[in-house]
Amino acid sequence: MWRGVRLVHTFAPHKKSLEAIVHTFLAILKARLANPDIVHIHAVGPGLMAPFARLLGLKVVITNHGPDYDRQKWGKTAKAMLRLGEYCGGRFGNEVIVISQVISDIVQKRCNRETNLIYNGVTLPEKSESTSFLEEIGTVSGKYILAVFRFVPEKGLDMLIRAFQGIEGDYNLVIAGDADHETQYSRELKSLIDQDKRIIGTGYITGEPLNQVFSHARLFVLPSFHEGLPIALLEAMSYGLPVLVSDIPANLEVGLAPERYFRCGDETHLRTRMAALLKEELTEIEKRDTRLQITEKYNWLKIAEQTVAVYRKALNGKHRGERSKRSTDPAHYNRRKPFQ
């Protein structure tokens, strides 16, 4: 239990092709026994279970975090199933939440329905003054580039490593993250990291170590080929960090300055932009404006209110896909009985 939230553990096989779908199926069965007001399903893979949940008489809200079938780790069969999950979620969810306008356009085109745009959020952090973890891993404040993500091909980490190796100077590349499931790709990445003394792999870190690497980085880089709306980028912005990201649609939607983007997949352009940005520092005004954008656009309290409003719409809808005519203003519902 945590602040009235009850976590119910459910079995799932530790195999990437089965884990999500089996877990979702079993979770929906448990949900049916609990007789909830709403079942909220996240991601297009678990969206395959939306028709099953509706068949059991449950009200379903789907959050589409992006076209996972574009991820390079999936084979043809898995990609086809993920596309089907996107369609099932879009067609059978009582309401659909998307985290970017790009995803909204996809759902509109494939499923012919409107969506509710609710961005991911982050909390403005209290930056760490300590450098104890930096000393432990062998780097110093302001002298490293930071990358934070899972070791999967679509994140472009191998390209980032090659681009960094062409940059002269005494900077480090700090890579925070690991693989959910060990693969040939993740093993090759770890080998590349181990072979270069300027590159530091921290593995998965949270809490104070993660706070320190964000607080003291010179530059944050996200070279992804695919994203929904990258929380790691929002976190870097919440720390007031200079950032450099690929020019994929999800990153462009964040609305950074042109010099903060490089051509996706272009290793030379990435290296050139990194080298240039390492010579610059954000002004205090730029840092303030970045954190203000996080406060106004990616605020968790606002996101929670928007989500509750969508739950109300799902409960008020007469049948699948029908749009509620009631107000979606959270203040309209403050007088209503809270959810159980």
Q: What is the pLDDT of residue 15?
A: 79
Summarised one tens digit per residue, pLDDT across range 268-313 is: 999 999 999 999 888 888 888 888 888 888 989 999 999 999 999 9
Q: What is the pLDDT of residue 171?
A: 96
CATH architecture of structural domain 132-297: 3-Layer(aba) Sandwich (3.40)
First to last CA, the chain: 15
Q: What is the pLDDT of residue 329?
A: 45
Q: What is the pLDDT of residue 294?
A: 87
Contact 267, 309 (CB under 8 A): no
- Identify which of 219, 204, 312, 326 has the alpha carbon closest to the alpha carbon of residue 262: 219
CATH architecture of structural domain 19-121+299-333: 3-Layer(aba) Sandwich (3.40)
Task: Give the 3-state secondary structure of residue 292.
Answer: helix
| Full pLDDT tens readout for the chain, 340 residues | 998 899 999 998 887 778 889 999 999 999 999 999 999 999 999 999 999 999 999 999 999 998 877 776 677 888 898 889 999 999 999 999 999 999 999 999 999 999 999 999 898 899 999 999 999 999 999 999 999 988 989 899 999 999 999 998 899 999 999 988 788 999 999 999 999 999 999 999 999 999 999 999 999 999 999 888 889 999 999 999 999 999 999 899 998 999 999 999 999 999 999 999 999 888 888 888 888 888 888 989 999 999 999 999 999 975 444 443 333 444 443 434 444 3
Beta bridge partners, 40, equal: 61
Q: What is the pLDDT of residue 158?
A: 95
| Angstrom distance (rounded) from CA 221 to CA 212 | 16
| Angstrom distance (rounded) from CA 201 to CA 209 | 13
* Angle between the N-to-C axes of helices 231-238 and 284-297, in degrees from 0 to 180, rounded to the nearest 10: 130
Contact 243, 221 (CB under 8 A): yes
Sign of CA dihedral 271, 180, 214, 205: negative
- The Cα angle at residue 236 between residues 279 and 224, in degrees rounded to 5: 85
Which 3-state string (H, E, C) describes 246-276?
ECCHHHHCCCCCHHHEECCCCHHHHHHHHHH
- The Cα angle at residue 265 between residues 263 and 266, in degrees rounded to 5: 60
Q: What is the pLDDT of residue 221?
A: 98
Structural domain boundaries in the chain: 19-121+299-333, 132-297
Q: What is the pLDDT of residue 227?
A: 86
19-121+299-333 matches 132-297 in fold: yes
